């Protein structure tokens, strides 16, 4: 599956033709889709049908914690949840847990020439313009 990297710089005009668009048509509203799938009634009736019964009210200290006095139901563990750097050691690959390593994995993707050009355009657009003097 190919992905397009798209960047738009604030203050510029978006040109959909550049990204293969420009002929888009408005899609159906959620109400129109509901009607297509069997809903019978007006749009206000459909909106009313989306309201559910009153739900459960969460209880502070049981369902959530406000974090005051550090009371959140969990005490972070040094070396697992955080590293203080006091020993001077840098974080290294072997310090990851198997679960952390698994969470780092993403889908494989090889950048195409078009992708690289789009990325370069975004980066170049963000570069400061030399005004003389120093930065």
For the segment 24-41, the average pLDDT, to the nearest whole number, is 86
- 103 located within any domain: yes
94-98, 105-109, 130-134, range with the lowest pLDDT? 130-134
Task: Give the pLDDT of residue 1.
Answer: 46
Query: Is residue 113 domain-resident?
Result: yes
Report how many domains make up the chain: 1
What is residue 8's predicted lDDT score, i.e. its pLDDT? 47
Report pTM: 0.27
The set of residues, in sequence order, having a beta carbon less than 8 Å from that of 63 and lying 6+ positions away, is none
Q: 99 lies in a domain?
A: yes
Give the N- to C-terminal CA distance of the chain in Å, as an integer. 42
Domain interval for residue 114: 86-127
- The full DSSP string for 29-91 is -HHHHHHHTT--S-HHHHHHHT-----PPP-BTTTB---GGG-SS----BTTTB---TT-PPP
12 belongs to a structural domain: no
């Amino acid at each position: 599956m190919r992905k397009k990297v798209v960047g738009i710089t604030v203050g510029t005009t978006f040109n959909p033709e550049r990204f293969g668009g420009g002929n888009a048509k408005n899609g159906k509203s959620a109400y129109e889709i509901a009607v297509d799938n069997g809903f019978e009634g007006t749009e206000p009736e459909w909106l009313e049908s989306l309201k559910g019964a009153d739900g459960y009210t969460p209880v502070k200290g049981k369902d959530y914690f406000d974090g005051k006095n550090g009371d959140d139901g969990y005490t972070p563990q040094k070396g697992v949840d955080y590293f203080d750097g006091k020993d001077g050691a840098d974080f290294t690959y072997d310090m990851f847990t198997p679960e952390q390593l698994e969470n780092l994995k993403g889908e494989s993707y090889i950048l195409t020439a078009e992708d690289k050009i789009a990325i370069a355009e975004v980066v170049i657009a963000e570069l400061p313009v030399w005004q003389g003097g120093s930065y």
